[in-house]
Amino acid sequence: MIYVFCPNPALDRMLIVDHLELNEVNRANAVHEVVAGKGINVSRAIKSVGGTSKLLLFLGGLIGQKIQEGLEKEGLDFEFWETLGETRITTILHERAPKRHTVLNEPGPLVSLAQAMRLYQFLEDRLQGEDYLILSGSLPLGLRVDFYAQLVTLAQRRRARSIVDSSGEFLSRALKNRPFMVKPNVREAEGVLGFSIQSFEDKRRAVEMLLRRGVELPVLSDGPRGLVVGYREQLWKVSIGKEVQGEYFIGSGDTLVGVLVAEFVRGKSIEEAIRFATACGLANTLSPGAGVFEVNKARELEELVILEKL
């Protein structure tokens, strides 16, 4: 089973405009509303490729109810613990010319210690060998900064594999407990490793450092410039052979994480998993929404993914 902890879910509202004029009244050409949060995007991607997962969330208020309804409509399996505060809304302003997007994140609700312990107990009762636990996004107010680190240790004790896709102190603390996989981008890796990452050699050094720290599968992403992936003692440079004219970049990293783990569960090789997960992340950029993509299109895009063993 793949468990996906989404501590900071949100209702995403994407407003599409031709060009955003500051200090002026702007009119949206279209509005897309979707339940989101990094973990939800991950579970959605897993379902898209035929996998199954169990979402774990904190939800509250009318927005929380709306997210429940959205998850049920999508057929995503989930368990939630209710908060007193209102679940947040994320507003995304997507401009067509120039191609850019601006994200406005609201603060999430306060999560109590009692709610955190219920989640912890839920996992302690269920995690077992061959399971995966994906920890995705930032932690809300009320949770200790080392909560991910505690869950990594719990997964190890239950002989499950943990994946951390976060940043800052949340990622730094979790790294000390040696998760199975991490997926920082360049900026996030700089924050936890303490040096500037500019060249390809810098990226390689960062992945090698993560391997030495006990991470079996570090994945360093650099947007359209591709990935550097380590697995045990092997490294790969992952690039795209032809530019893909994508517009919708939110959720591409979450898609990569979800599909990569789903392919592992299926018993695919590391190279097969990386190639398909990268293609799905690319396909995500072609559709509005997050973790939303056409699998057939991803299969076509696989031909563009170049893996170079280092």
CATH of residue 197's domain is 3.40.1190.20
pLDDT of residue 287: 84
pLDDT of residue 34: 85
Query: pTM for this structure?
Result: 0.92
pLDDT tens profile 136-147: 999 999 999 999
Number of domains in the chain: 1
Name the band, by pLDDT with cuts 50, 70 and 90, for residue 290: confident
Query: Domain range for residue 238?
Result: 2-309
Tally of CB atoms within 10 A around 195? 11
Does 289 have pLDDT greater than 80? no
Name the band, by pLDDT with cuts 50, 70 and 90, for residue 242: confident
Name the band, by pLDDT with cuts 50, 70 and 90, for residue 173: very high
